[in-house]
Structure 1
Amino acid sequence: KYSRKDRAYIGGGTFSANPMTMMAGAATLDTLKNTPSVYSKIKNLGENASKNIVKAFDGKVICTGKDSLFMMHFVPSDITHITNAQEASKCNTKLLHKFHFEMITKDGIFFLPGKLGAFSNAHSKSDVNAIVSAAQRFSESN
């Protein structure tokens, strides 16, 4: 039997110590270092998506986040902005899940239901347009 002090702890995760993902991560960092325009591109995609999703839902959704990351919140009528977790907790997460599942099944857009959206360099304006169209469709039917 080993003492607590002598025991080794092996930490792990989905991609821990995986040479393929280590190489992919290194290649990604090189790309970001050598192509700084990626940051402005994904920032614009995220900001454009957030602004137009809010428009599509006509005030029933607030988007929070920064640059390429955005989170949609289906808000009750008494909430006009979200600045903390308490305000976010008052939002309709069931409707958000429904929207995300419908985007998957009806629009072919994958969102981890109830989670935030994120744009990458692989995305384009057509991806933003597809999400906004899905938001318009959902808004009109719900």
Structure 2
Amino acid sequence: MERIITIVALVISAAGLGYLKMAQLERSAAAEAATAVQAEAVAEAAAAAALEAAKYHFTIPHDSQAETNDLQIFMNGRASGDADADSISFQWEQMEGTSVDLEATDGQITSFAAQPGEYTFRLTVTDSYGDQATEEATVAVKPEPNQKPAANIEIFAED
């Protein structure tokens, strides 16, 4: 009988230890999953911050004219070049944002009238052998800032 009680006690102990080990593994897995989710959120926030930092930011200047709602933006590709000193051609195209009219889509410099919003452009440079290089840039334009007027009442009596 003692032997049976000992065996039962060992079985219960083994089952209890197994349960404790399983619970420990589950807690460990949950902690690892939480850490992974947190790391992913941090990485996404860092990527979003990097994208925002890479944008060219402009604000339409305040000029006391409520009708002013755009800003002339210039993009310059003159720093582009070819290591072999081959002649190069330029091609500008809009990739994203409200459609705008680019002034010189095949010149080193182009411009457009930007209203508040974001615009993404691609410059493709092609050498005389047909090899190409591209670069994209995003322009973010904020509306003209305006502060609320102040209303003041003066009260007086005439003598």
TM-score strictly above 0.5: no
Higher helix content, 1 or 2: 1
Q: TM-score, normalised by structure 1?
A: 0.23
Higher-Rg member (1/2): 2
